[in-house]
């Protein structure tokens, strides 16, 4: 297989694919030759509340990402996607099967957060964070895994977080959801192991995306009572590598995990944090 286009004729689904880490993953798959289907909840379909920390791209950003994928010489589909809705996830799956006939790779990058203590949590906010970050991953895997098992080849990559193994007094729902993603990853890896399917979780630290900067700005203003730019710079300076992770680094790792020679890497939580714990 051509090592430059080792994913030629493969089909990849990416949730949260219009921006941030999801976009970087989608572009990395395309660079390796895969046709890519991206889905993101769009700002025009926004049903989020002020206490939810989430970045929602617009339709123009979704279309721009689609064009960037196509410029790499592959086919692309871009659509609105709500991972909290099984109907929406089913439509996302169906358009892929109708167009390409199969799904080889699934990357779950859609995510949401909230800054709230357990004592202060509303049940609605707790359930929303869990629903997007954990149940959304379950919904896509439930649809895609059977076909991967049947064709005896598949790669599933879930974006977890360093929060899966490091606690925070104001991120209980997020930490719990991401720990759940790691647990789910291990179970799926074992279910698919005998059928050519691997499943891994990538756990990034702070990543320099629009969502990451927005989240850090919120923390600076509402929790730390600091200037956001100073807080972000301080975060970089306290990192062992004096920086934040770039989304392209996550994309590169996701693409590597799809290589034939990476099949033995499965059931793993791969931390990309430049040495930081959180």
pLDDT tens digits, one per residue of 47-100: 677 789 899 999 999 999 999 999 999 999 999 999 999 999 999 999 999 999
The predicted pLDDT at position 1 comes to 43
Query: Region 131-139: what's the mean pLDDT?
Result: 98
Task: Name the strands in the sheet holding 197-204, side by side, starting at the edge strand that comes first in the sequence.
Answer: 76-80, 35-40, 11-15, 105-108, 154-159, 197-204, 269-272
C-alpha distance from residue 244 to each of 8, 27, 204, 260, 272 (Å): 32, 20, 10, 30, 10
Which one of the listed residues 55, 93, 174, 231 is annotated catalytic? 174
Q: Confirm whether 174 is a catalytic residue.
A: yes
Could you tell me the sign of the dihedral formed by the alpha carbons of 100, 105, 108, 110, in that order?
negative
pLDDT tens digits, one per residue of 206-256: 999 999 999 999 899 988 889 999 999 999 999 999 999 999 999 999 999
Query: Region 147-172: what's the mean pLDDT?
Result: 97
C-alpha distance from residue 158 to each of 62, 126, 227, 233 (Å): 21, 20, 33, 28
Of the listed ranges 5-9, 109-113, 167-171, the least confidently predicted one is: 167-171
User: Is the pLDDT assigned to residue 2 strictly greater than 60?
Assistant: no
User: Is the pLDDT assigned to residue 34 strictly greater than 50?
Assistant: yes
Under CATH, which number does the domain 11-207+247-272 receive?
3.40.50.720
| Residues 6+ positions from 132 with CB-CB distance below 8 Å | 54, 83, 84, 110, 111, 112, 177
**How far, in Å, CA of 179 to CA of 185, rounded?**
10
* Average pLDDT score over the chain: 96
Domain segments of the chain: what residues?
11-207+247-272, 208-244
């Amino acid at each position: 297989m051509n090592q430059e286009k080792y994913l030629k004729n493969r089909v990849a689904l990416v949730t949260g694919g219009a921006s941030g880490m999801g976009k970087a993953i989608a572009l990395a798959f395309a660079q390796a030759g895969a046709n890519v289907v991206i889905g993101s909840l769009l700002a025009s379909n926004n049903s989020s509340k002020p206490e939810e920390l989430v970045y929602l791209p617009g339709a123009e950003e979704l279309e721009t990402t689609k064009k960037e994928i196509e410029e790499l010489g592959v086919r692309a589909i871009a659509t609105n996607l709500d991972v909290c809705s099984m109907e929406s996830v089913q439509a996302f799956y169906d358009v892929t099967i109708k167009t390409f006939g199969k799904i080889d790779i699934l990357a779950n990058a859609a995510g949401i957060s909230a800054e709230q203590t357990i004592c202060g949590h509303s049940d609605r906010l707790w359930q929303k964070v869990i629903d997007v970050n954990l149940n959304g991953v379950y919904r896509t895997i439930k649809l895609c895994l059977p076909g991967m098992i049947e064709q005896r080849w598949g790669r599933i990559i879930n974006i977890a977080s360093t929060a899966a193994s490091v606690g925070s007094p104001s991120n209980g729902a997020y930490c719990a959801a991401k720990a759940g993603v790691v647990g789910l990853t291990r179970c799926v890896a074992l279910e698919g192991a005998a059928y050519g399917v691997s499943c891994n979780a990538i756990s990034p630290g702070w990543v320099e995306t629009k969502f990451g900067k927005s989240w850090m700005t919120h923390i600076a203003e509402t929790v730390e009572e600091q200037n956001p730019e100073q807080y972000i710079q301080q975060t970089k300076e306290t990192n062992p590598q004096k920086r934040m992770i770039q989304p392209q680094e996550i994309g590169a790792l996701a693409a590597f995990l799809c290589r034939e020679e990476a099949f033995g890497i499965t059931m793993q939580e791969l931390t990309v944090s430049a040495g930081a714990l959180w």
